[in-house]
Structure 1
Amino acid sequence: MHYELLVEDELVVVRGAVPGRPAQQLSLPEVLAHPLVLRERGSGTRQVLEYALRQQHVRLSELRVAFSFDNTQAIKAYLEAAPTCLGIVSRRALELELQTGRLEIVPVPALRLARQFETVWVQGQPPSASAARFLAYARQHCAPVS
């Protein structure tokens, strides 16, 4: 199989923005004390979180999970309405909400949630024409997020 990096991503802790009160840095125990809104079991997002927590000797069963949703849009909408909850979301999925001040990233230095998306195809067999067009489009539109 041929593997090629398509895009790097980072999951971040996020909350509903509180006007006039910027998000303060939190320690991992402070984050874990909040009700959390997460992706559903089996999702790649949840697997990255589970792995990072395991490195910190924290089990997922120890978390105060308020809700699990099967899509990022539902998590973002819930966080806008639930000021005491925190969520874990891809930085790439937050562009509009960050720009409009509806959500904000909460810095958590002890929690690094990096991930990579790769394309995979059979070695020696170039991707089909439609797959090649998709890859060209994805490479053009998946610029690094700051």
Structure 2
Amino acid sequence: MNLKQLEAFVKVAETKSFSEAAKQLFLTQPTISAHVSALEKELNTCFLIRNTRGVELSESGKELYAYAVQMLEIEKTIKGRFGKEIKPEGNVLRIGASTVPAQYILPNVMSTFHAEYPGEKLKLFETDSKGVIDMILSHHIDIGFTGTVIEKGNCKYLPFYEDELVVLTPSNEKFVEKLCGGQILADWIMDEPVILREEGSGTKKEAEKMLAEQGIDIKKLKLAALMENQETIKRSVSKGMGVTILSKLAAEEELKNGTLLAFPLGSQGGKRMINLVYDAEYPLLPAAERFIKMIKRMYLKKENTGIGECK
């Protein structure tokens, strides 16, 4: 087994085509086929399933893919650190982020990063916080951003941005009276239909903890719907379907134009931290280290702020 064989296998897995893999690696299709066949023969395992739709990974192939990507990234890291340059166009920093950091924080960070390092390419995957952690630990991404801390694997977290969760309601007379009257959330939220984020959402996990601190069991709320898309949630709330709990960042426009109202999530407010996360036992690419330094520079006052291990 060698890196050329693994590179061919990874490219076939990603393109789902031997011919496209050959084209992208500037090799012939028989050479790609030979590399993959040698790999399967040596390890006595079928990694790719050929069918009329193209090529798919077997269960063993999915496992090998995760390892192979790690090995190829380590090769890049070694070459980058010890003098053998890799062309800038060959580097891609893979970033995973949950909804709030992906949509409201990272656009500014990525544009700043691109201005300072124009040779670096970025690839952003948007999912929920659980999905980000799964991608970190399977090494499908290099660094991630989450709205909660999930105790799993060897994650290290850098909390860098204070976000606020709020209860969003329609902007109608009933809720204006509650807001102006300073009614306590616990006195009325149990009577309202509630729209919540999907399972795995950092927003939902943090909201559950904050409600519990006020004696409110999220499981006893009158659930109207579970939704993934924040825009759909906000529009449903504005139409009177129910109330919801989201980041205040996500509702800035609606709050400004008066289509939604925001109630504080408890007397202390619904404060939570947005975190940068990576695998502590896996070497970081130089581009990832530069991205982390930029996050510290942009959002943290002290450059030497430690990165805390999840416990």
Normalized against structure 1, the TM-score is what? Answer: 0.75
1:94 aligns to 2:251 (yes or no): yes
Which of residues 255, 267, 273 in structure 2 aligns to 1:116?
273
1:30 aligns to 2:184 (yes or no): no
C-alpha distance in structure 1 between counterparts of 2:266 and 2:206, whole Å: 16
Q: Could you tell me which amino acid in structure 1 is paired with residue 246 of structure 2?
A: V
Q: CA, structure 1 residues 15+111, in 2 after alignment: closer, same or farther (shift >3 Å)?
A: farther
C-alpha distance in structure 2 between counterparts of 1:111 and 1:63, whole Å: 21
Equivalent pair of 1:26/1:106 in contact (CA under 8 Å): no
Residue number in structure 1 paired with 2:219: 61
Query: Could you tell me the percent identity over the aligned residues?
Result: 26
C-alpha distance in structure 1 between counterparts of 2:287 and 2:265, whole Å: 43
C-alpha distance in structure 2 between counterparts of 1:80 and 1:138, whole Å: 37
Q: CA, structure 1 residues 81+4, in 2 after alignment: closer, same or farther (shift >3 Å)?
A: same
Which of residues 159, 162, 166 in structure 2 aligns to 1:5?
159
1:44 aligns to 2:198 (yes or no): no
Q: CA, structure 1 residues 103+4, in 2 after alignment: closer, same or farther (shift >3 Å)?
A: same
SS for the counterpart of 1:42 is coil
C-alpha distance in structure 1 between counterparts of 2:188 and 2:274, whole Å: 30
Report the CA distance between 1:138 and its aligned residue: 9.3
Pairwise CA RMSD of aligned residues? 3.1
Q: CA, structure 1 residues 36+138, in 2 after alignment: closer, same or farther (shift >3 Å)?
A: farther
Equivalent pair of 1:15/1:85 in contact (CA under 8 Å): yes
1:129 aligns to 2:283 (yes or no): no
Larger proportion of helix: 2
C-alpha distance in structure 2 between counterparts of 1:128 and 1:76, whole Å: 39
Report the CA distance between 1:140 and its aligned residue: 4.7
Aligned length: 139
C-alpha distance in structure 2 between counterparts of 1:103 and 1:46, whole Å: 19
1:74 aligns to 2:232 (yes or no): yes
Structure 2 segments unaligned to the other structure (5+ residues): 1-154, 300-311
Report the CA distance between 1:65 and its aligned residue: 1.1
Q: Could you tell me which amino acid in structure 2 is paired with residue 93 of structure 1?
A: A
Q: Could you tell me which amino acid in structure 2 is paired with residue 12 of structure 1?
A: V
Equivalent pair of 1:16/1:81 in contact (CA under 8 Å): yes
Equivalent pair of 1:37/1:86 in contact (CA under 8 Å): yes
Which deviations, in whole Å up to 9, do the C-alpha atoms of 1:53-81 show, x marking residues without a partner? 22333322210111111121111010111
